[in-house]
Each structure stands twice: as structure tokens, then as C-alpha cells.
């Protein structure tokens, strides 16, 4: 009884409200995306919105279960949960079913479960558990190495399932590492690497290398020219040029043809409206045709008549853009940013390291999904097939995001009790 | 404290979130609000503009007999952008085309536009259409468009009616109404009355899904327009007379034009050899057109408008009229004729001498008309031959020669009444006289006329001094043709002079060159012509009107390379007149001879 009162009083209703808002809007848009007049009942299991309704109800139930579970359960069994998920990821490699090129599904009757979705909260738990330990010393090799293993292992296994998009999600944990003391230079370097990689692809590695040399020479004029600075600058320059050359080499030798085309399409170097560019082009058409106020609920032609592929999963944002226009898109983007900021604020008020680090993990995962998914539908990011949290059709991802968020909410409820 | 400083990093993280969110909002604002090309692309995706082709107007003769109607066919259209993953082989099999042909057509369509439909295969048979319709869902990017084709219940008046074909690029560039694959009148009245006949195209906007399946009409058809059928044309042509003329002319090269003098309405208009107009319809048109084009007797040539013949003796009355008007000829003027021994032009007929203008017309005397012409060109009223010649030429042009008449038929030629300048160029200024151009006195030499001009000349004489621009359409839809459109042209020669000429022509039919072909109860006024032809045998010509008083028909008949005017053109014209006025022909032997004789 006291426990329940405690939950109701202490729960962060803002997070819950944002969550409920997002899943409701998600469901409405899935309904619109696949709507047809023959199946207008909202609970029709032959239609994805009917099944999504079941996923939503079960997710709410799961959320409740998480809230009623002792908060210490998750920190205590963090490694165990992580271990189980790793085993599942291994198992799916051996026994899984291949769906659209990725061997990442367990087929159970009509429903398919994707273990990699659950890797996200398991990894977040393990990471939080590791960093909240007493033995943390940022300076040791061990502290630097083990988080990379925790993040890298599931990422590698998912990569082996041929699901590059989901594997990339794990790079989002760099935000957690940053909060835990990773030098800001790494973030900066990350941004620099992305810029260098993109410019290499766009203008050619020779020009980027020349530009780097010129930049270094200019820096040399500004900084104090002592021995240490010159050596560092030289090392950075070598690193940069080496990176540029390896990007060029990697693209030419390691990337599959379809990945190369996707990148070229994004960079505008190739206009392939039939093949790789088709998705993005149709997606931009759908969103762009929405105008300021949108075409109205169920009035979207591009999504409803299947011009946009995957319109209820990875490209669900197209329906938002087409039917609700700039206003609707803005509401969704703002809601996500508000959710992310709220998660960070709530994380920062935690007294336990575990909860706080876990919160950053939640924010990292959600942010990465949000940025990549919407970025891809508006042509700012290459097509990487990952869902938009709480919006995209799919049980595994909705369950996974719900558990991810509700563990955090539960930790928050207990923040005072944990002293 | 280390943790304290690290806590400030939340600002950085939140900043990253906000910046990314802001960039996305900017991008969305650009895509959705600023750049409106996406709306267009979306419409291109989902909206299919289906043109509603109106049926062309029907064509009737003066008695309401149907001459041209429409038959439904189906055109297969392609939208190249949507063609993907289709079973080309099966598709080719259904249409009975080769894979290479498939690729060619698709390439042609793509060259036109990837987003607009263009014609893939025209005029599918009903069987092919039926078979294809069932499997249409398997061939995204293709759809069927109902069209209509011309059909002729009785194969009549091919040259007059003309034919309909697909627009070419030049027409599309010139007139935005036409789109690739549209049909347009290419010759004949199909061309001259194209705007009335074609109607107004409509547009139906339909929505399709990604598989090219129709999913409904756009905004419940708010923007659709309904096709408006073309207007029906009622011709002045008498189908019975036309058909009769075509029968008489079979096996002969030449032309017949008949006009109602009081109105200028064309009653019959034919060029022979003709062809069945049904041959130039639909898929067979290309092949048949090639065959007709190669035929040495030139069935495609519209001789009524484009055949230019020396008028020969039919022209003699023109000179008489000018002579009478200019005062160099009177009814009491007599000239002598030495028959075949006459100079500079010998006579081909035996008759009395000296003779007056009536007898000269009746007997088609060459020396008489040479004398008339000489006196016109040496008229002391004006200064010299050249000025006299120009006076003469003005009179002749006034009678409808040497220029287009401005009828509503297609592609009239002007004929030729040579200008003084043209003689200056040949002989030198001041160095030519009536003697030099003496052939003009008997309608030979440089003079050229078309059968339409000759028939119009008949109408001018029948009306005693005026003609109404000949035309073929009486009524468009519910509305009679505006009379002002075809103006009345009054000759500057006094009607009393015309009476003299008409009397001469009456004698032609009773006493003169046409006396063997008198028509029971009808007085015909006419004039034969035998036009010398440098390329072969003389052309046989006859120009006439009937009855002499209150004429109802003026006619010109030309039979190429057939010899004397009185042998072929005259009997055919007299049969035509009898048929038109009496409704039936009593001289069946002559009729039979004419129909059965083949001259080429």
C-alpha cells in the first residue's frame, strides 16, 4: 500500500505523459499509414495497427510490471540480464529466422521477436552497473577497456546478424562515456571524423588531404611553436590524412554496392530514383507535400498508396509529415527533444550513480534512434533501417523502449529511498 | 570535485539535442513550406490525368444522309515512370509485338516524357483489349484509353472529306491544345473544320497507388471536366449525285465539281481515281497510305483543287465577255473563218463563215476568238498591248480565275492567268503583242484553271455575272453557316453581255458541239473544251449549267488524256445534270458506256 502511494507520488509524470503522448501519436499514424476502407475497425489483427494496439497494451502492462518491481532488482541483476541477452543474440545467430536480409528474429507463431532490440536496455544496465562500481578509476586501462567490451560485444553480434543499423545504435553510448569523463576531444574528434569522412566522399581524398595540410600550416602560425605542439600537430595531421585515406580505401573495398549507392545518393552524387534513392526520394516527397498544415488525417496519398516503402515502420515519420504538415512534424520533433531533455534532467537529480548513468544510456539510445530515423526520412542521414522510438510499428522495439524508459522511471521513483 | 565538473557536461549533451532538433526543424520547414516541388512530385505520383476524348462530329450530306461516323477503339497508353518489373515476354505475346518493338516504343515514350502518358500501341482490337484488360494489374504503367475512329458507311468523297491522323510534333509545338497521340484532321474538310469537328477534350483526374491501381477520383471529381462532343457538319453535297459521279468517273482520271449557282453550295466534288476512305483509318492507315502514294495514277491527288488544266475552248466566252464589255465586240461583229486553213490559229470545226459571236461559241470557232482577243489587246482606248492586256487580266481575275476562290475545301491551288510581268520576263518589255500570246485567245498557253474554278465559272455564267464563293458546309451543329463567310463576288461586266454568252451556250447544246447529248425537258447551256496537253493526249473538258433559266446546277468535268471534250466530259456532265434535276437517268446506254469505259 505504501509502496503504491509512493509510486503515485514520486513518479515523474512528465516522462510518463511524454511517453503516452508519443505512443498514441505513433498508433494514430500507423493507422493512417496502412488505413484502408475494408478494414476500418481499430482492432483488426490482420492489420498492423490492430497488432500494434496489442503491442501497446502489453507494453503498458510491461511498464507497470517494471514499476512494481523492486528497483534494486535491475541493478543487482544487471550483468545477469546482459548475459542472458548476449546468449539470446548468439542463439539467434544459430537458430534465428531471416527476415528481409537480417538473421535477427525468433519466429514464434505469427509473431517475431527481435533480441537485438532488448540488447539496448541490457547494455545500458550493464554499463550503468559497471560505472557505478566502487572500483572506478578513470585513469586505469581496465576502466577504459571494459565499457568498450560491454558496448562492443552486442554491437558485434548484431553486426554478424547483418543488421548494421541496429549495431550502429551502440555508437550512441559515446554520450554516456562523455558524461563519465571521456574527454570532450573525443566528441570533437568524432564530429571531425564525420566531417572528414563526408568531405572525402564528396570531393575526393586528395583535396581533403591538401586541405588538412593547409589547415595545419595555418594552425602552426597561430599556436606557440614549441616542440611539443609541433609534434602533436604533426601527429594529428598524420592521423587525419591516414583516416581520409582509409575512408577512401574502405569505401572502395569493404562497403557493399548498395551501401555505397546509399551514401552517394545522400551526398547528391548519384540520382538513383529507382533503386537506393527511391526510398529517400519518396519519403521527401511525402513529407514535403504535407506543406505547412498537412493534408489531414487519412488524407495522405503518398503513404497510404504505398509510394513510401516501410511506411509503418522505419518511414512512419512520412505519415506525420504528409498528413500533419510542418506543424505536426514540429510537434513530434519538439516532443522528442523535450523527452530527451527531461531524461537528462531527471538523470542529473539521481543520487545513485547507477540511476544517473542508466539515464544517460536511455537518452543516448533514444537520441540516436530519433536523430538517425528522422534524419533519414528528410534526407540528412543515409538510409539506416532503425525504428523511431514509440512511433514505428513493431512489438520488440516498443517493448524494448518501454522497458528501457520505465526502468529509468522506476529508478527515479526510488531515488530518495536508495540513500 | 571531478563529479561536479562532469555534471556541467549535461549542458553540452542538452545543447547537442537541441541543436540537432533545431537543424531538423529547419530542414522540415524547407521541405514542407519553402520548397513546393515536392507537392508537384506527390501529385505526379498519385494523380493520373486521363484525357476524355470527345467523339468527332458526324458528317451528313445535304439531305441528312450519314457520310462519316465514329467507331470505338482502344489505345494502349504508357506512363514510362511507372513501368517496372513486368513480364515483357507475356506482354509482347498479348500485343503480338517483338521484344525489340517493345523496347523501341518504350524508348520513344521516355523521350517524350517520363511523367506524361504517351501512346504505346494504338487501336487495339476488341479481342486484344478484352484479353489485356484482365491482366492489366500485372503491367503497371500501362492503361487503356478509349478512342474513336472514323468510319464511312458508303465509301464516298474521299478527297472532299479528307482523313484524320495523329498530330505531329510541329502541330503540337504550334497549338498547345494537342498532345502527343491526339487525332487531328489532316486533309479535306476534316482539316478545314477541325476546330468544329474535334470537340473539347475533358480531363478526369484519378488517383493511383504505387502499383498503378486506381484508387478513386481526385477530390471526388471536383477538377474533372467533361469532354464535349464535336459539332456535326451538314454538307451541301448531294450524296446520290456524288456517288453517281464517282461511278461515272471510275476508270478515268479527272474530276467533277458541281455547284448550286444561287448559293455557291458545292453539290458534288470528286477527284478520280479515288480510294475507299476506310483505307486511311486506324492501324492500316500507314500501310495503305504508302501504297496509295506509290500508285502511278495518284489516287491521293485531289484533282478538283490541285489539278491545274488549260481550260481550252471553255475559256472562249471569257474573252467574248471582255470584248463585249470593252466595246471591241458586239452582237453584229462578224469575222470570217477559213476552217483548217486559218492563220494564225486554224479552226477544227466546219461551219458557216463569216460568223457572229453566238455561232462562234456554238461552233467553238478558233479564228473568231483570235480576232476578238487581238482586238482586246489592240484596243485604241488604252495605251498599247501591255495596258490592254492588264485590263483583260483584271476582268479575267474578277471572274474567279488565277487566284484561290477562298472556299472551305482544303488546299486550293490558284491556277494561272499569266501576268504582264511574266511576259516581259520572257519576251522583253514592249516586245510582245497579241500575236505573241495568241494561245490565250483559245484558253491554251500559260492559262491554268482548276475544276473548282471551272465549275465556279459555270455558276458565274448561270447567275449572269456573279458568283458566291463555293463552299461545302451548309450547317455546323444546330447553326447554319454564316452567309457572310462566303461572299458574293459581282463581275464588273454588264449582265446584258452575259445574256449574249448564255444564248451562245444554249446553242452549243442545241445546235453546236453538244447537240448529241441533249437532255429531255432540260435546256443545258454548256461549252466543251479540248485542252492541249504537252505531256500526252488532250484533256477532255466540259463546263455547263442547267436549266438555262433559273439554273440549279453548274458543273465542270475534266477527263484527263481522253481527247475531245464532246466525247467524254460532255456526256458525263449531261448525265450528272439529268441525274440531279430529274432524279433518274433515261439515257441508260450512254450511262452504261461511260461507267464501263476505262481510260487508264
Task: Point out the residue among B9, B31, B42 whose CB comes nearest to the CB of A301.
Answer: B42
Flag whether residue A367 sits within 8 Å of chain B, measured between CB atoms: yes
Task: Point out the residue among B29, B38, B211 whose CB comes nearest to the CB of A326.
Answer: B29
Q: What is the pTM assigned to this prediction?
A: 0.64
B312 CB burial (10 A radius; 0-12, 13-18, 19+): buried
- Position A272 scores a pLDDT of 54
Task: Point out the residue among B12, B32, B84 whose CB comes nearest to the CB of A321.
Answer: B32
Q: How confident is the model at residue A108 (pLDDT cuts 50, 70, 90)?
A: confident
Cα angle for residues B337, B341, B342 (degrees, 5° grid): 45
Flag whether residue A363 sits within 8 Å of chain B, measured between CB atoms: yes
Q: Is the pLDDT of residue A274 over 70?
A: no
Q: Which residues of chain A neighbour B215 with C-beta distances below 8 Å?
A: 305
Kindly list the structural domains of chain B, giving each domain's residue range(s) and its CATH number in brackets, ordered by start. 48-235 (3.90.1310.10), 239-477+486-596 (3.40.710.10)
Enter the ipTM: 0.88
Closest CA to B164 of B55, B269, B280: B280
Q: Is the pLDDT of residue A168 over 90?
A: no
Flag whether residue B219 sits within 8 Å of chain A, measured between CB atoms: no
Q: Do A336 and B21 touch (CB under 8 A)?
A: yes
Flag whether residue A365 sits within 8 Å of chain B, measured between CB atoms: no
Flag whether residue B15 sits within 8 Å of chain A, measured between CB atoms: no
Chain segment B347-390, per-residue pLDDT in tens? 888 888 889 999 999 999 999 999 999 999 999 988 889 999 99
Q: How confident is the model at residue A419 (pLDDT cuts 50, 70, 90)?
A: very low
Contact B415, B401 (CB under 8 A): yes
Chain segment B8-50, per-residue pLDDT in tens? 888 889 999 999 999 999 999 999 998 888 877 777 777 877 7
The strand ranges marked E within A26-143 are 97-99, 102-108, 111-113
Task: Point out the residue among A290, A304, A334 whose CB comes nearest to the CB of B32.
Answer: A290
Task: Point out the residue among B20, B24, B32 whose CB comes nearest to the CB of A292.
Answer: B32
- Position B352 scores a pLDDT of 86
Q: How confident is the model at residue A137 (pLDDT cuts 50, 70, 90)?
A: low
- Separation of alpha carbons B302 and B189, rounded Å: 12
One DSSP character per residue, A199-244 reads HHHHH-HHHHHHHHHHHHHHHHHHS---HHHHHHHHHHHHHHHHHH
Distances (CA, A) of B517 to B449, B508, B520: 25, 10, 9
With CA atoms as reference, the chain A residue closest to B214 would be: A305
Flag whether residue A333 sits within 8 Å of chain B, measured between CB atoms: yes
- Separation of alpha carbons B522 and B579, rounded Å: 11
Q: Do A179 and B46 touch (CB under 8 A)?
A: no
Q: Do A380 and B27 touch (CB under 8 A)?
A: yes
Flag whether residue B86 sits within 8 Å of chain A, measured between CB atoms: no
Helix (H) or strand (E) holding B145, with range, is strand B142-151
The strand ranges marked E within B503-584 are 525-533, 536-546, 553-559
Those of residues 72-131 in A touching chain B at CB distance below 8 A are none
Percent over 90 (pLDDT), chain B: 55
| pLDDT < 70: residue spans in chain B | 1-4, 211-213
**How many beta-carbon contacts under 8 Å exist across A and B?**
124
Flag whether residue A335 sits within 8 Å of chain B, measured between CB atoms: no
Task: Point out the residue among A286, A345, A378 whose CB comes nearest to the CB of B27.
Answer: A378
Residue B474: how many CB atoms within 10 A of its CB? 18
Flag whether residue B214 sits within 8 Å of chain A, measured between CB atoms: no
**Domain map (residue ranges) of chain A:** 2-182+255-409, 183-254
| Interface mutation target, options A171, A285, A291, chain B, most CBs of B under 10 Å | A285
Number of continuous H segments (helices) and E segments (strands) in chain A: 18, 3
Q: How confident is the model at residue A269 (pLDDT cuts 50, 70, 90)?
A: low
Amino acid at each position: 500500500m505504501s509502496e503504491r502511494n509512493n509510486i503515485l507520488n514520486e513518479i515523474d509524470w512528465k516522462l510518463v505523459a511524454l511517453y503516452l503522448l508519443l505512443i498514441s501519436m505513433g498508433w494514430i499514424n500507423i493507422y493512417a499509414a496502412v488505413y484502408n476502407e475494408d478494414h476500418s475497425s481499430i482492432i483488426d489483427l490482420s492489420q498492423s495497427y490492430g497488432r500494434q494496439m496489442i503491442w501497446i497494451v502489453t507494453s503498458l502492462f510491461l511498464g507497470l510490471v517494471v514499476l512494481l518491481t523492486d528497483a534494486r532488482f535491475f541493478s543487482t541483476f544487471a550483468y545477469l540480464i546482459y548475459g542472458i541477452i548476449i546468449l539470446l543474440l548468439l542463439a539467434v545467430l544459430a537458430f534465428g529466422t531471416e527476415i528481409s536480409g537480417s538473421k535477427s528474429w525468433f519466429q514464434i507463431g505469427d509473431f517475431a521477436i527481435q533480441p537485438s532490440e532488448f540488447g539496448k536496455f541490457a547494455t545500458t544496465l550493464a554499463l550503468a552497473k559497471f560505472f557505478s562500481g566502487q572500483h572506478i578509476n578513470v585513469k586505469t586501462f581496465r576502466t577504459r577497456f571494459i565499457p568498450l567490451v560491454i558496448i562492443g560485444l552486442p554491437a558485434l553480434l548484431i553486426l554478424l546478424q547483418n543488421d548494421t543499423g541496429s549495431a550502429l545504435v551502440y555508437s550512441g553510448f559515446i554520450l554516456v562515456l562523455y558524461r563519465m569523463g571521456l574527454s570532450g576531444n573525443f566528441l570533437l574528434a568524432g564530429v571531425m571524423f564525420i566531417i572528414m569522412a563526408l568531405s572525402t566522399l564528396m570531393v575526393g581524398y586528395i583535396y581533403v588531404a591538401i586541405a588538412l595540410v593547409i589547415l595545419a600550416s595555418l594552425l602552426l602560425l597561430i599556436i606557440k611553436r614549441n616542440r611539443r605542439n609541433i609534434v602533436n600537430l604533426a601527429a594529428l595531421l598524420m592521423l587525419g590524412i591516414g583516416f581520409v585515406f582509409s575512408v577512401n580505401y574502405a569505401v572502395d573495398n569493404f562497403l557493399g554496392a548498395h551501401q555505397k549507392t546509399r551514401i552517394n545518393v545522400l551526398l547528391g552524387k548519384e540520382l538513383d530514383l529507382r533503386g537506393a534513392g527511391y526510398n529517400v526520394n519518396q519519403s521527401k516527397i511525402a513529407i514535403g507535400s504535407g506543406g505547412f498544415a498537412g493534408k489531414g488525417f487519412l488524407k495522405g496519398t503518398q503513404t497510404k498508396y504505398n509510394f513510401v516503402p516501410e511506411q509503418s515502420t522505419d518511414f512512419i515519420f512520412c505519415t506525420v509529415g504528409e498528413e500533419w504538415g510542418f506543424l505536426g512534424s514540429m510537434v513530434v520533433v519538439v516532443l522528442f527533444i523535450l523527452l530527451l531533455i527531461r531524461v537528462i534532467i531527471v538523470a542529473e537529480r539521481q543520487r545513485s550513480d547507477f540511476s544517473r548513468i542508466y539515464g544517460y544510456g536511455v537518452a543516448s539510445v533514444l537520441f540516436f534512434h530519433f536523430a538517425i530515423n528522422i534524419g533519414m526520412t528528410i534526407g540528412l542521414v543515409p538510409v539506416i533501417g532503425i525504428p523511431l522510438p514509440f512511433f514505428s510499428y513493431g512489438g520488440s522495439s516498443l517493448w524494448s523502449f518501454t522497458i528501457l524508459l520505465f526502468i529509468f522511471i522506476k529508478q527515479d521513483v526510488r531515488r530518495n529511498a536508495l540513500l | 570535485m571531478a563529479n561536479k565538473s562532469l555534471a556541467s557536461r549535461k549542458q553540452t549533451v542538452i545543447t547537442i539535442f537541441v541543436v540537432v532538433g533545431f537543424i531538423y526543424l529547419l530542414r522540415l520547414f524547407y521541405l514542407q513550406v519553402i520548397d513546393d516541388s515536392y507537392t508537384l512530385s506527390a501529385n505526379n505520383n498519385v494523380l493520373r490525368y486521363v484525357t476524355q476524348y470527345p467523339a468527332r462530329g458526324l458528317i451528313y450530306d445535304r439531305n441528312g444522309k450519314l457520310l462519316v461516323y465514329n467507331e470505338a477503339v482502344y489505345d494502349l497508353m504508357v506512363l514510362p515512370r511507372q513501368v517496372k518489373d513486368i513480364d515483357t515476354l507475356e506482354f509482347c505475346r498479348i500485343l503480338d509485338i517483338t521484344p525489340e518493338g517493345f523496347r523501341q516504343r518504350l524508348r520513344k515514350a521516355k523521350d517524350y516524357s517520363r511523367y506524361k502518358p504517351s501512346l504505346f500501341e494504338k487501336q487495339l482490337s476488341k479481342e486484344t483489349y478484352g484479353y489485356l484488360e484482365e491482366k492489366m494489374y500485372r503491367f503497371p504503367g500501362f492503361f487503356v484509353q478509349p478512342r474513336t475512329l472514323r468510319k464511312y458507311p458508303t465509301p464516298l468523297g474521299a478527297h472532299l472529306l479528307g482523313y484524320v491522323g495523329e498530330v505531329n510534333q510541329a502541330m503540337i509545338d504550334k497549338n498547345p491544345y494537342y498532345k502527343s497521340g491526339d487525332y487531328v484532321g489532316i486533309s479535306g474538310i476534316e482539316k478545314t473544320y477541325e476546330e468544329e469537328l474535334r470537340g473539347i477534350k475533358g480531363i478526369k483526374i484519378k488517383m493511383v497507388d504505387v502499383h498503378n491501381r486506381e484508387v478513386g477520383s481526385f477530390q471526388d471529381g471536383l477538377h474533372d471536366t467533361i469532354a464535349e462532343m464535336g459539332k456535326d457538319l451538314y454538307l451541301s453535297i448531294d450524296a446520290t449525285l456524288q456517288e453517281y459521279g464517282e461511278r461515272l468517273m471510275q476508270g478515268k482520271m479527272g474530276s467533277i465539281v458541281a455547284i448550286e449557282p444561287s448559293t455557291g453550295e458545292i453539290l458534288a466534288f470528286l477527284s478520280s481515281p479515288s480510294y475507299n476512305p476506310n483505307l486511311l483509318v486506324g492501324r492500316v492507315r500507314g500501310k495503305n497510305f504508302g501504297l496509295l502514294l506509290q500508285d502511278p495514277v495518284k489516287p491521293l491527288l485531289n484533282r478538283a483543287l490541285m489539278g491545274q488544266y488549260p481550260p481550252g475552248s471553255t475559256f472562249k466566252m471569257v474573252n467574248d465577255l471582255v470584248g463585249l464589255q470593252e466595246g471591241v465586240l458586239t452582237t453584229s461583229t462578224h469575222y470570217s473563218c477559213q476552217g483548217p486553213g486559218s492563220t494564225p490559229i486554224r479552226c477544227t470545226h466546219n461551219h458557216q463563215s463569216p460568223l457572229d459571236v453566238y455561232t462562234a461559241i456554238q461552233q467553238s470557232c478558233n479564228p473568231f476568238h483570235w480576232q476578238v482577243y487581238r482586238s482586246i489587246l489592240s484596243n485604241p482606248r488604252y495605251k498599247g498591248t501591255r495596258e490592254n492586256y492588264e485590263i483583260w487580266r483584271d476582268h479575267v481575275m474578277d471572274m474567279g480565275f488565277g487566284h484561290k476562290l477562298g472556299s472551305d475545301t482544303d488546299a486550293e491551288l490558284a491556277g494561272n492567268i499569266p501576268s504582264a510581268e511574266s511576259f516581259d520576263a520572257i519576251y522583253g518589255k514592249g516586245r510582245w503583242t497579241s500575236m505573241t500570246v495568241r494561245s490565250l485567245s483559245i484558253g491554251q498557253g500559260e492559262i491554268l484553271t482548276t475544276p473548282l474554278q471551272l465549275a465556279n465559272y459555270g455558276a458565274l455564267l448561270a447567275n449572269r455575272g456573279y458568283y458566291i464563293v463555293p463552299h461545302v458546309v451548309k450547317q455546323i451543329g444546330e447553326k447554319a453557316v454564316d452567309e457572310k463567310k462566303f461572299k458574293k463576288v459581282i463581275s464588273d461586266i454588264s449582265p446584258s453581255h452575259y445574256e449574249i454568252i448564255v444564248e451562245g451556250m444554249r446553242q452549243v447544246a442545241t445546235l453546236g458541239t453538244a447537240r448529241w447529248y441533249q437532255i429531255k425537258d432540260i435546256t443545258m447551256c454548256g461549252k466543251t473544251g479540248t485542252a492541249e496537253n504537252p505531256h500526252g493526249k488532250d484533256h477532255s473538258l466540259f463546263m455547263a449549267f442547267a436549266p438555262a433559266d433559273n439554273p440549279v446546277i453548274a458543273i465542270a468535268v475534266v477527263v484527263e488524256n481522253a481527247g475531245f471534250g464532246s466525247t467524254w466530259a460532255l456526256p458525263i456532265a449531261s448525265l450528272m445534270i439529268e441525274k440531279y434535276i430529274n432524279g433518274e437517268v433515261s439515257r441508260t446506254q450512254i450511262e452504261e458506256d461511260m461507267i464501263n469505259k476505262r481510260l487508264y
